[in-house]
Amino acid sequence: MDWSKVKNILIILFIALNIFLLVNIIDISTNDVVSKKTLNNTVKILNNNGVTVECKIPTYSQPTGTPEYTENVLNRGVILGKLLGNISLPSLDVTQDGNTIESSSKWIRFDGNSFEYGNSNPTESIDINSLDDILQCVRNLLKDTGIPFERFVPDYPKLMPSSDSDVLVALRERSDNYILFDNSIKIIASKDGIVSLVLSYRKLIDITQPRSITPVYQILIKNFHNRSGTVITSIDFGFKMIKLDNETNSFVDVPVWRIMSSEGITEFYRADNGEPID
């Protein structure tokens, strides 16, 4: 065996492999991540037009598809027993959509993938100035219901007053790269406990049929260049259900960009075509 030839072949293969890996790394960095220079130029264009960006502009631009969910995963009997206690029911038919089930000061009403819970006389004691305290109270309330509360995180950085004595906390299911905007928990808490809770949840199975998306910097330049005085405070990527057809009342889940401003305005744009969502 001619070892010198074998050695040369191995060297050539090694070089080819490294070139292949380098090309792939360059391709990934070029196609899936927006450059820092592009983001800096975007901020300059917006600033020159009186628009301030107080948050980081996401660089995410990877091909992304359509989420697939398992519907009707809420175990209504378990949730009912946990939130209202052991109450006597004629049958589980009472948990059908739209029925209000009451027990003492508490009530619950289911609607598809959602339910609403209320308690006019909570008896816990919580610090409504502490987000951790409120979340722990909700965690205890939903424990053993099958709802993955650990995947829901605060959607806003601070507590919002609901009235003179209550605060509102909004949670959404979040992963590292995206938010499931329709998987949400909205809580109103008082110093005595949870006054009301509205929860919507579908179980994400997969994200299929990846296709190119519009980087958010393009949406910012197109839609905010003439919005002088706007202060953009938050930009997030995720998935949202939108109406597909007005005639058939059909819905579809699509990738979206959410842009929020200090004026309290929240706007959604489709990430697959850059169009605004009403």
Chain segment 228-237, per-residue pLDDT in tens: 999 999 999 9
pLDDT of residue 5: 57
Q: Which residues contact 134 (CB under 8 A, 6 or more apart)?
A: 126, 128, 159, 167, 169, 187, 189
* Cα 159 from Cα 225, distance rounded (Å): 31
Total Cβ atoms within 10 A of residue 158: 8
Judge contact between 109 and 99, C-beta under 8 A.
Answer: yes
State both tokens at 148.
Answer: 């993955």
Total Cβ atoms within 10 A of residue 147: 21
Quick: pLDDT tens for 167-196.
Answer: 999 999 998 789 999 999 999 999 999 999
State both tokens at 59.
Answer: 């660089």
Domain definitions of the chain by residue range: 1-31, 34-67+209-277, 72-201
Sign, CA dihedral 235-174-176-60, equals negative
* Cα 150 from Cα 183, distance rounded (Å): 13
* Cα 156 from Cα 20, distance rounded (Å): 44
Q: Which residues pair with 33 in a beta bridge?
A: 60
pTM summary value: 0.83
pLDDT of residue 246: 67
Quick: pLDDT tens for 76-128.
Answer: 999 999 999 877 776 667 889 999 999 999 999 999 999 999 999 999 999 99
Judge contact between 180 and 239, C-beta under 8 A.
Answer: yes
Total Cβ atoms within 10 A of residue 136: 12
* Angle (CA) 22 27 29, round 5°: 95
pLDDT of residue 24: 38
Judge contact between 201 and 175, C-beta under 8 A.
Answer: no
pLDDT of residue 86: 79
Phi and psi at 162, nearest 5°, equal -100, -35
* Angle (CA) 100 101 103, round 5°: 135
User: Which CATH number applies to 72-201?
Assistant: 3.30.310.160
Quick: pLDDT tens for 127-159.
Answer: 999 999 999 999 999 999 999 999 999 998 677
Tell me the pLDDT of the chain averaged across its residues.
87
Q: Which helix (H) or strand (E) holds 19?
A: helix 3-31
CATH topology of domain 34-67+209-277: Lipocalin (2.40.128)
pLDDT of residue 175: 87
pLDDT of residue 249: 73
